[in-house]
Amino acid sequence: MKKIGRNVTDANIQNEFDMSEKLRNLEGDNAYKSRAGRKRHSIQYDRRLSLQPISDRRSSNASSTGESVDSLSSYTGSSSDEDDVNPREKVQKNSKGSADFCVRNIDHAAFGRREIEIAEQEMPGVMALRRRAEADKPLSGAKIIGCTHITAQTAVLIETLAALGASVRWAACNIYSTQNEVAAALAEAGYSIFAWKGESEEDFWWCIDKCINCEGWQPNMILDDGGDATHLMLKRYPAMFNMIKGIVEESVTGVHRLYQLSKGGKLTVPAMNVNDSVTKTKFDNLYSCRESVLDALKRTTDVMFGGKQILICGYGEVGKGCSAALKGLGCSVMVTEIDPICALQACMDGFRVVRLEEAIKSIDILITCTGNKNVVTRSHMDRLKTGCIVCNMGHSNTEIDVGSLRTPDLTWEQVRSQVHHIIWPDGKRIILLAEGRLVNLSCSSVPSFVVSITAATQALALIELYNAPPGRYKQDVYLLPKKMDEYVASLHLPNFDAHLTELSDEQAKYLGLNKTGPFKPNYYRY
């Protein structure tokens, strides 16, 4: 297995993923104040643990608008959003009498089950993996802590891992993306799920802790999205962390955290970086964003795309997908880039490459896709024309400096859930979506088929790490083997009635390949 040799600069690590930053003052944040009676249930986290969740997926500034967390839930909605009682204050049991879960309302399980059944139809790869490996139980004995988005697609993955022999406990990596009915359906099926849409910051960490700290249950695997479960276990339960057999991480942020731990000699278990696997970067980032950016913009603003002036910051896989989709609907698309190679690709694809300052006054929609911080600042937004839509498709909500908009001279007006008018003193207004968080996850849905590709990759990574003989993986970060990437792709080809060509012995020898793959060297760029 080839180890990843990525260089992460000390400056980036210090700025973005500093493990020693202080836990936000929960009592001072109105949006996350505990409701009456919650304190008696609270875990009082030691501030030295610095359990600050990743900023790309949670907002600490909701209080500035004066709205409750529930009012900022996804525009896609949930039929149980009206329930204003904190789930931690409820006594709930499923039909089998188990209370080892915490969801919004267990009574909505039937609705969630139908959502899961719909997702199963669009996740052929994961379902095929379930059928092929169910008899062998490759995860028998695995006890997995999961911290990802809890949606119908995730439920298909959870039930697949269980069918392959694993025992799981699951929390949400995002306080807004949880589908409450799906969480209820999983709890009704006997899974230990701790998540609901609109969690407070305190609730968020409480849910992860409940997954990890369970009497008579010792986790040995982690499936993470953002590194929060890994971080909490390492800081709060270091002895337990050292007994983990492997970590699977699928996000840019979480992978950076793992490289930081590895660089500092603090990563005591092997980890698999599936974020940079081909089946994640190409399909989740490119093809999924190509569809979901349109969905998010339509749902939130009902915008007509034809003829609009669009500026997309960043021309990586996400930027490429967004640009292609918007160009196809008649938009005039411009791109900003720091990388000359990506900039040249944008030019060859027919897009103007400009600086933000050059185009800022004339654009109708501004989309960030860089993964960087302070890409769009207050000075930029001061120059936008009235009615401009501003949103983020990159991984971190630091791309748009939303904090600079929370000043006395600007007025925040909520139009819809996750849609705000920001009004300047002269009457100019811009439309800010999802408060700078990921607009496709906060305001729309992600195609189940693409999630099937990512979920199959995650499942195979868990199987690989769990069953690896001693010594195959050191205490470091690894990429998923290319052979497994190819297997994930092959699981999905029958859905298109696609038939692969087979190499002859002579052809395989000429290319220096095994007839069954892998078919490309590690340095190949798809």
Q: How far is CA 393 from the centre of its chain?
A: 11
The shares of helix, strand and coil residues in the chain, as percent rounded to the nearest 5, are 40, 15, 45
Q: How far apart are CA 270 and CA 276, in angstroms?
A: 16
Q: Is 320 part of any known ligand binding site?
A: yes
Q: Is 440 part of any known ligand binding site?
A: yes
Q: Is 103 part of any known ligand binding site?
A: no
Query: Length of the chain, please?
Result: 526
Q: Is 225 part of any known ligand binding site?
A: yes
* CA atoms 72, 399, 367, 371: torsion sign: negative
Q: Is 280 part of any known ligand binding site?
A: yes
Q: Is 250 part of any known ligand binding site?
A: yes
Q: Is 517 part of any known ligand binding site?
A: no
Which one, of 272, 255, 237, 201, lies nearest residue 55 by Cα? Answer: 201
Q: Is 266 part of any known ligand binding site?
A: no
Residues 6+ away with beta carbon under 8 Å from 523: none
Residues 6+ away with beta carbon under 8 Å from 279: 453, 454, 456, 457, 480, 485, 488, 489
Residues 6+ away with beta carbon under 8 Å from 103: 87, 92, 180, 183, 184, 187, 193, 194, 195, 196
Q: How far apart are CA 23 and CA 201, in angstroms?
A: 10
* Secondary structure of residue 460 in the 3-state scheme: helix
Q: Is 69 part of any known ligand binding site?
A: no
Supply φ then ψ for residue 64, to 5 degrees.
-65, -25
Give the containing element (helix H, strand E) for 135: none
Whether residue 227 contacts residue 200, with contact meaning beta carbons closer than 8 Å, is answered with no
Q: Is 94 part of any known ligand binding site?
A: no
Which one, of 51, 72, 71, 227, lies nearest residue 145 by Cα? Answer: 227
Quick one: three-class SS letters along 138-153? Answer: CCCCCEEEEEECCCHH
Q: How far apart are CA 334 and CA 469, in angstroms?
A: 50
Q: What ranges in 219-307 are assigned the alpha helix state H?
A: 228-236, 238-242, 252-263, 278-280, 289-301
Instruction: Please state the residue numbers annotated as binding site.
Output: 151, 225, 250, 280, 284, 316-321, 337, 440
Instruction: Please state the residue numbers annotated as binding site for NAD(+).
Output: 316-321, 337, 440
Instruction: Please state the residue numbers annotated as binding site for substrate.
Output: 151, 225, 250, 280, 284
